[in-house]
Amino acid sequence: MISRLKSEALFAEALKHIPGGVNSPVRAFRAVGGQPFFVESAKGARVKTVDGDELIDYVGTWGPAILGHAHPKIIAAVKAAADHGTSFGIPNPFEVTMAKLIKSLVPSVDKVRLCNSGTEACMSAIRLARGFTKRDKFIKFDGCYHGHADCLLVKAGSGALTFGHPDSAGVPADFAKHTLVLPFNDPKSVSAAFAANRGQIAAVIIEPVPGNAGLYLPKPGYLEFLRKITAEQGTVLIFDEVMTGFRLAPGGAQERFGVRPDLSCFGKIIGGGLPVGAFGGRGDIMDFLAPLGPVYQAGTLSGNPLAMAAGIAALDELRSSRRKEALTDSKGKQVSLLTSAATFADDAYAHLEQLGAQLEAGLRDAAKSAGVAVTFNRCGSMFCGYFTSEPVWNLGDAMKSDRERFKKFFHGMLAEGVYLAPSQFEAGFISTAHAPADIEATVKAAAKVMKTL
């Protein structure tokens, strides 16, 4: 059982100075009840609370910590970069290195613009698509989150062909009127939307594997369908790979599923734990950005040297996992280094896949033994368990899950020393710092907790 005395005191103090006591809503534990704990430090696959308790962490800074927390090479890179200054507002060499890295890993990217968050990347990509096509409307999908820009805080209308309406106070209806919100994994609704808005849709933006409503996967052929119909309609296809980029494969979901978008949005891993964002894609579209083109986008801290150094270290460490194996052959003879994108990080991703499969099998067995209905979705090192007996392919399916049961499960796991996202509708993340023993301990805890549900 973890202690909470110091965390409770800090939260009481935070409530006096910060709205809701937190700087991002999901941290408030509103979805699961109770109060959040505060972290003192994190290392590898664990976080340590201010009360001294250690927890196996499956949130991983909401995705960036693919190598675990406080990886020594990332820490060293940030320290070295800081010695030269924390910010310039002037081009620095790290920006060029990062752009080249992204291009080498993601074949759909001809050019890339660095920014400071996933929200900024998605907002800018949509603006760019509108400027390039000279159209106003765009399609997003229910359950996909692309940041808190006004035009994106939109929920579905009353039908597939109706415009969405604001999902947050402070967003004028006019900001939402050009946003069409459709159900995920439903090709018919997409075809109908294009038919009803012929020649008016600038972009389709999608999380290829949605990770902000738990986790569900595209049905076979769905992403290929979106690629085909957008190409036919002269519409820009945008993949929001802020979560999935460099996590589901070296080239992200688009590599894993073999579908090439026109624009892609990135974040998380390319910052190594520091704030960062990026968007890139076809050169003819990207050249519409200022200073070359008429679409304005800017940021004083874009390409920040600390964030770039951290992200480069993270990507390089993933790459070096393959290089180290390539230094000698089976007889110990020196061989050439393998550095191509095709072999990039094979071992790191194989390790993540193995851990993910171990966790999935263990949690399925634990639920079955306890007689608890759970649908477990996983894609590589991303996962989510829904307390429902039905398959989950979209937000409507996800909403059928038993959220009260999830609350009990969340707090039970926390008491056992395992930290999951404090919401049924968030993905979990595995890092290379997790070991099979961590997964074993997690499954053992889940088996114990599920028997109490």
pLDDT in tens, the chain (453 residues): 567 899 999 999 999 999 999 998 888 899 999 999 999 999 999 999 999 999 999 999 999 999 999 999 999 999 999 999 999 999 999 999 999 999 999 999 999 999 999 999 999 999 999 999 999 999 999 999 998 877 777 775 434 344 556 677 877 777 778 899 999 999 999 999 999 999 999 999 999 999 999 999 999 999 999 999 999 999 999 999 999 999 999 999 999 999 999 999 999 999 999 999 999 999 999 999 999 999 999 999 999 999 999 999 999 998 775 444 433 333 344 333 333 333 444 589 999 999 999 999 999 999 999 999 999 999 999 999 999 999 999 999 999 999 999 999 999 999 999 999 999 999 999 999 999 999 999 999 999 999 999
Domains of the chain by residue range: 5-70+345-450, 72-312
Catalytically annotated residues = 145, 240, 268
pTM score of the predicted model: 0.92
Decide which of 3.90.550.10, 3.90.1150.10, 3.40.640.10, 3.40.47.10 is the CATH code for 72-312: 3.40.640.10
Using CA atoms, how far apart are residues 8 and 15, in angstroms rounded to an integer?
Answer: 11
Q: What is the pLDDT of residue 335?
A: 34
Residue 420's φ and ψ, nearest 5 degrees, are -105, 165
Give residue 321's pLDDT: 57
The Cα 103–Cα 226 span in angstroms is: 23
Vertex 123, ends 122 and 125: CA angle to 5°?
60
Nearest-angstrom CA–CA distance, 289 and 20? 38
Task: Give CA angle at 94 (89, 95), nearest 5°.
Answer: 65
Q: How far apart are CA 152 and CA 139, in angstroms?
A: 10
Give, rounded to a whole angstrom, the gap between the first and last alpha carbons of the chain.
Answer: 18
CB 56 within 8 A of CB 420: no
Q: What is the pLDDT of residue 323?
A: 42
What single letter denotes the amino acid at residue 158?
S
What SS3 class is residue 57?
strand
Residue range 5-70+345-450 forms a domain whose CATH class is alpha beta
